[in-house]
Structures are given as C-alpha cells and as structure tokens.
Structure 1
Amino acid sequence: MNKQLKITNGRIITPQCIINGTILISQTKITAISQRDIDAPDALVIDAHGNYVSPGFIDIHVHGGGGHDFMDGNEEAFLEIARTHARYGTTAMVPTTLTAEKADLLKTLDLYASADVKNTMGAQFLGMHLEGPYFAMNQRGAQDPRYIRNPDEEEYKEIIAYSKAIKRWSAAPELPGAIKFAKYLQANGIMPALAHTDAIYEEVAVAFENGYTLATHLYSGMSGVSRRNAYRYAGVIEAAFLIDAMDVEVIADGIHLPAPLLKLVYKIKGPDRVALITDAMRAAGMPEGDSVLGNKDTGLKVIVEDGVAKLPDRSSFAGSVATCDRLVRTMMEMADVPLHEAIKMMTKNPATIMGVDDRKGTLVEGLDADIAIFDEQINIQATIVNGKLVFGG
C-alpha cells in the first residue's frame, strides 16, 4: 500500500463549502486539503475528473447486503456485507441485529469480533447495534414475535458484560424496566435508542431525559396520534418532532417514506438532526426476486420488487434494499435537499450520533481518510476507507 495517496481535480465537499482542489492522504489520515496542487511526487494519484469528493458515507443501521445478513451465523457474512456497501460509498457502518434468542445475539457478537480483525476491503465496523428484543409487540413490524420481551435485567447485564462491541441498543422506552435499562446502557458507554414502540409523548419525554435521544427509523414501528378512552394522545412521531434535541433516523429509499414525509422531516428537524440509514437487508446490492429477511435458514421469506422487500402476499413492506448512494439521491430529488445538506445527513450527523465525529464524518486535515467520489447522479466512482482504495479508482 502506498504511504501517500493524492486525489486531484475534485469538487471537494468540506464542512464550509465545496471547493475545486486536491486532497493528500498519508497512510490512514487526511494530511492536506488545498485549492491548488499539492507537491507529493511519490504519491499514488487518483484523478477525480471533476466529480465530487465527499466524506465517506456512514450507515448506523444496516442488517445486510450482497446476499448476506449479520444474523446468518458466519464470519463471511460480515465481510461480504462490508464489501458490498463499500461499492456504494459506505466507509463505516454499525452492524445491526434482529430480535433473537440470547444465544444467537452472543454468537453474533463473537462473529463481529473475529470479522472486525479481518475486514480490510470493506466499510469499517463502528461497533454493534442490537435492535431488540425489548419491543412493543404491536409495533414489532418484521421483528420475530417469538423473541419479543420486556427488558430482562439479568439478561442484558450478561450480554453487556460479554462483549465490548455493543455501541447502541434500540428498545421500546415505555416497557417495564426500560428506563433502568437505559441508565445501565449509558453507564457502560452504550447509546439507548427508541424503536418499535407504542409510547405516548409523555413517556417519550421521560425517556429522552433518561438517554433515549435517538428515534430509530422515524415513522416505522412507532406510534403516532392515537385515542385512548376518547382522548387524543401524541405519539412517538410527534414527540420526535417536538423535542428539538432528539435525533432521528430516516430510511430515505423513497418508498418507506414518500416525498411529503421526507420533506416534513427535513422541514421540522432540519439538516443537523437527521441521519440517513439504509436499514438494508440481505438483498441490498442484489437482483430483485425471492429473498430472506434475517437468518438465511430460519428467517422470513420475502419478495424483492419495485426497490423494496415485501411480504409474499404483498400486504406489507418487509425491509429495505437501499444503499447509501440511493439515500443521498432520494433526499435531493424527492425532498429538495441541497447536496451539501444531504451529505451531512449521511456523514457528519451519523458520526456525531455515534460519537466518532472527532475522527470521521468530515473532510478535515487530521481526520480519517474515509472518502467517496461520485458524479452528479451520486454514482460512486471510488471508495477509500482509512486511506485505502477499496473500490474503483
């Protein structure tokens, strides 16, 4: 591997503006950004040919891709998912589980640890996201109802003690024990997020004050306005909008949320509190047709068509097949979001939420050399992870 890499003739998306210039990378870090050529005679040169040079995309909620799922129970699934999404500009990701038995979660954590060491040609892993099993049954979506349960203190303490890889855990905050659970997560450096929840505004307000500062896939698997004994109550969706400091995830594939809802999220939360996520299952990056949501042997059979996974009877969506380039493109085309703000939602905001913005998410001297190069249509031309070209070039 060359010690230096130089990207020339690019439209560089910096935190302040877009400049025409050059980036110099030394080993794993960005060492210079200039509107002029940078003298580095021994560097490997990548000519961006006038394309955009962006921070690499950061996907903080992803289940699979390339025909694999993180719950498949093998190391190769982790590695192939990382390689697949790197082809679409993703340079860092947070592998995400589905609701499962404790033994399956522990096995997945073991596989993460072993795959993380071998992951040299794909998007970097930033730690695990456990999605479930502490969810509201009637907001379970595609989560397996056999494993949904209330927070179990003995269980979650054992899981947390088992692995240091867990960085985030999504749960329904209105469940018995969910606030105590969130406090324990934070004491162990893990971020609580609210998901698959039937809470009302008042419950979310308490949850937010106790650490549930991120709404997992806004609109999906959560309550809106409801009536109880004739009275209307604001739900999780309204709470996410009303609590200014709450961050929200959006599956911006243009299907899970149509254009008016994408515009509404952008209008209310603005460019600083939205993180774009794929929430992708194994069919991301694969041809349409039959697929499986979750474990390849025991998961739910689905059909992929029209750019989304559906139940076989086509009565409901069953998962996203998006890649990060598609998310950026959708926000620009359907929600009228400017390029630099769509990029922020795909880079800086996810990095901030995960607490890695001191090293990732922006093109700044001294930060990790995670870079995506793409054209006007957000077609990825090259992906660089920690200074290493892993796709294109």
Structure 2
Amino acid sequence: MSKSDIKITNGHIITPYRIIKNGELFIRDGRIEAVSESNIDAPGAHVIDAKGQYVAPGFVDIHVHGGGGSDFMDDSVEAFLTVAETHARYGTTAMLPTMLTSTKAEIIRSLKRYEQAAANNVLGARFLGIHIEGPYFAMEQRGAQDPRYIRDPDPDEYLEILASSSSIKRWSVAPEKKGAIPFGSILRERGILPSIAHSDALYSDVAQAFENGYSLVTHLYSAMSGVTRRNAFRYGGVIEGAYLIDELDVEIIADGRHLPAELLQLVYKIKGPDRTALITDAMRAAAMPEGNSMLGSLTDGMEVLVEDGVAKLPDRSAFAGSTATADRLIRTVRDVAGIPLIDAVRMMTATPARILGREASVGSLVPRKDADIVIFDEGITIKMTMIQGRIVYSSDERIPTNVAEQKITS
C-alpha cells in the first residue's frame, strides 16, 4: 500500500452524467484509481469523510486575470502564486492565467514571469499555460481593455512573442481585424487555441474565422457584436455566429452580474453544457473587499470601482471585470438560472478541460485521471481542494497533516 493512498468516503460523487450517492473514491500516487457505489477495500489508506457532501472534479478556469489583490500583469512571481492560491480556496484546481492588452515588451516579460512561477507553484491551482487576451481587438468593442495598446495583428510582433515562450495556449483576437485570419491559422498550426473576442465582426467574418481555426468565443455577450444594420440591411454578428455554428464553443462569465438569468438560460438551451464553459474572468479584486481597485498591472493598469459584486469603470458606464470565484459561478447557474447541478459542474470541469485539450488528465472523476478534487456542501461552500492528491485547502482541521503535506507527483 502506497503512503499516498487516500480514500474519500460518504460523499455524493459527481461524475459527468450522474451523481453517485454515498459513493467512495480511491486515490493512489496523485491519481484516481477507483470510483465506486460500494465500499472500496483500501487497508492503510488515509480516509477522508465527505460527510454526505458533494465530491466533484476540481474546477478548471480557462480565463482568469487575478485575485487576492494580485494580477498576472504585476510582473512578479509572487503575484502569480497569490492568484493561484486564492482561487484554490474556492475550488479551482487548474487555471489559464490571462494577460490583458499591453505592449509587446510587457507581454514577453509576463510570459517569463509565468514560467518562473509555474516552477514554484506548490500551494495553488495548477497553471495550464497562458491566455493572451488582446491586443488585436476592435476599438469599439474594447470594453475595459486599454485603448492605448489596441492594434492590428502584426506578424513581426506576434511571431516574436510566439518565439519567446512555449507556454502560450490560447490567444483571443477580433477576427475581422486585418491579418487576423492568417494569424488564427498560424496559432492552430502551433497547437494554440484561437478565440473570438472584443469583436465587431459580422456573421460572415465569424464563419470565416471558424474555418480558419477559431473554435471558441471569449465571454459570450461581453464586448461583441449582435444584430447590426449596415446600409439599412440587418446582419448577424458574433453572438448569432456563436449560436448558428454548432461546433463553436463558448465561455460565459456566470457571476450573476455580466449576464442575467434569461441569457444564462438561453446559452444553456442552445449551446448546452458540453459547449459552454464557465469562467470567472476575475481581476485582482476577487476575494477582496469592495472599493477602488486596479485592472491590469499596478504600475500601468486602469483604475476601476468594485461595487455590487462586480468591477466597473469609474464613471459606471460599463463593467470592467469580474470579482467572481468558481464556486460563485456554479451557485449562480444553479440557483439563478435553474440549471441542474450536474450540468453546472460539467461546465466548470469537463467542458473547459476538453476545450483546452486536457481532458485526458483533468475535468472528471474517472480512473487514471489526476486526483484534482473538491468537496462542497449544498450551498457550494468549498470544504476541501485537492490537486494531484495533495490537499491545498481544507476547512476541516482534523484532516491529518501527513495527507496535507504529500508532494505533488507530476
């Protein structure tokens, strides 16, 4: 029997398609070995009693900027680690750190900081790579992206950025921008996910982008075109393209502020849980008190006001980022939109894992996958977060120290 054997018992285990009542789960060397409706014989294993609460896959956040008072643009390893540790307390076990529109030099510098942080990330949500959001956006749909740095795709620039790091896994772009279509093809060739974002595209632009590798729509409804008139004729936009192209995945900021219940329900009805990922899109104010804050880096970011559970531009003319954590997303889609818990969890686990091509290791509780696990109660309050068999957060002080101190196996 391995020293790292763990058995979770007396839990309602959430699988992709059912909930196993009072099930058991067995972990060995950081991986799931068995999931059962009956007792698993594991003598000598550390036993964790889930106390009749839910046992779910760890949450996978594929779009997050910050939290706990730090932002990934802060140019420090400590900021990366603070964000990862903050979100782990709310159930996130894997994340895609996201950069805002900025200069080429700042993007490259942040990529280097990411690589340093990834090598030292022990207590927080695992990093799955980097998501670059911008700077190739439509000015009219910039939202809270800094207009000083918005520009068209420049091959000399983006090829230098791509050459500087192998950690880039996703890049959000407005596909109607000059040069955006060939850029998407280049990203796909390199195994990087091109995503449609901050865009004034027509449906025809979206269709062309999809044909050239763009397979995801960044924060659906936020900073994008819908039905518009040109020369008196109506045209569909990005929103209509997201619905009409079945194979396009979408992500939504389900914080209860960015989208009302009826739009959450509409996305769920048309795209379904297998094509919809929940994201926090959280900035540094996540898990922090409301008040004045900063979007982006402390030295060159944008001042924002956090109130009513969301970040706003100082004049309150628009939202400027989310302050959500992953538990809040699941609570919102279940309680506000009436979406079944099993589907809400899938949109925060299996679906984002599949979108990133990481479904072989994370996103569901099945044998041989990494033991990234959360336990939460009926109110979606996180009681325990486990990453690769290592407990990084627990509200129960009775959990044995030797379990909490296990090393992560890669």
Q: TM-score, normalised by structure 2?
A: 0.94
- The separation in 1 between residues aligned to 2:128 and 2:363, in whole angstroms, is 13
Q: How does 1:184-333 map to 2 (within 5 A)?
A: 184-333=186-335
Structure 1 distance, partners of 2:129, 2:82, is 17
Q: For residues 316 and 45 of structure 1, what CA distance do their matches in structure 2 show?
A: 49
Which one of 140, 152, 166 corresponds to residue 138 of structure 1? Answer: 140
Q: Tell me how many residue pairs correspond in the alignment.
A: 393
**Of residues 95, 98, 102 in structure 2, which corresponds to 1:96?**
98
In structure 1, C-alpha distance between the alignment counterparts of 2:32 and 2:286, rounded to whole Å: 30
Q: How does 1:103-182 map to 2 (within 5 A)?
A: 103-182=105-184
**What CA deviation, in whole Å up to 9, does each residue of 1:148-174 have, x standing for no partner?**
110000111111111000000000001
Give how far 1:2 is off: 4.6
- Aligned residue for 2:119, secondary structure, equals helix
> What is the alpha-carbon distance in structure 2 between the residues aligned to residue 59 and residue 227 of structure 1?
35
2:55 to 53, 70, 74: 53
Q: 2: distance between equivalents of 1:269 and 1:164?
A: 31
Q: Distance in 2 between matches of 1:15 and 1:207?
A: 30
Query: Which residue of structure 2 aligns with residue 14 of structure 1?
Result: 15
Contact 2:144 2:313 in 1 (8 A): no
SS at match of 2:269: helix
Distance 1:310 1:130 in 2: 22
Contact persistence 2:143–2:318 (CA under 8 A): no
Per-residue CA distance 1:186-230 (angstroms, 9 max, x = gap): 111101000001000011001111111100000001001111111
- Please give the alpha-carbon distance, in whole angstroms, between the structure 1 residues aligned to 2:66 and 2:97: 8
Question: For 2:108 and 2:75, how far apart are their aligned partners in 1?
Answer: 10
Q: Which runs of 4+ in 1 moved over 3 A?
A: none
Q: 1:140 offset after TM fit, Å?
A: 0.5
| Greater alpha carbon shift after TM alignment, 167-176 vs 304-313 | 304-313
Q: Amino acid of the residue matched to residue 113 of structure 1?
A: E
1:320-343 alpha-carbon deviations (Å, 9 max, x no partner): 000000001100112111000011
Q: What is the aligned partner in structure 2 of residue 3 from structure 1? A: 4
The CA distance in 1 between the partners of 2:380 and 2:179, in whole Å, is 44
Q: 1:364 to 1:305 in 2, by over 3 A?
A: same
Contact 2:134 2:171 in 1 (8 A): yes
**Other structure's SS at 2:99 match:** coil
Q: Which amino acid in structure 1 is aligned with residue 244 of structure 2?
A: L
- 1:25-36, aligned counterparts within 5 Å? 25-36=27-38
Gapped regions of structure 1 (runs ≥ 5): none
Per-residue CA deviation, residues 129-164 of structure 1 (Å, 9 max, x unaligned), is: 000111111110000011111000011111111100
Identity %: 63
Q: Where does residue 359 of structure 1 map in the other structure?
A: 361
Q: Which amino acid aligns with 1:49?
A: K
Output the CA distance in 2 between the equivalents of 1:317 and 1:182. 28
Structure 2 CA distance, aligned partners of 1:73 and 1:183? 30
**5+ residue gaps, structure 2:** 397-410
Matched residue, 2:399? none
- The one-letter code sitting in structure 1 at the alignment partner of 2:104 is K
Name the residue aligned to 2:71: 69
Indicate the SS of the match to 1:164: coil
How many Å apart are 1:354 and its aligned residue?
Answer: 0.1
Provide the secondary structure at the position in 2 that maps to 1:96: strand
Amino acid at match of 2:295: L
Deviation, structure 1 residue 312: 2.0
SS of the residue corresponding to residue 135 of structure 1 reads: coil
Secondary structure of 2:293's partner?
strand
Q: CA offsets per residue over residues 112-139 of structure 1, 9 Å max, x none?
A: 1111011011100000000011111111
Letter of the 1:16 counterpart: Y
Per-residue displacement from partner, 1:81-133 (whole Å, max 9, x unpaired)?
00000000000000000001011001111011111011011100000000011
CA RMSD of aligned residues (A): 1.0
Partner of 2:44: 42
Shift of residue 40, structure 1, vs aligned partner: 2.2
Q: Secondary structure at the match of 1:42?
A: coil
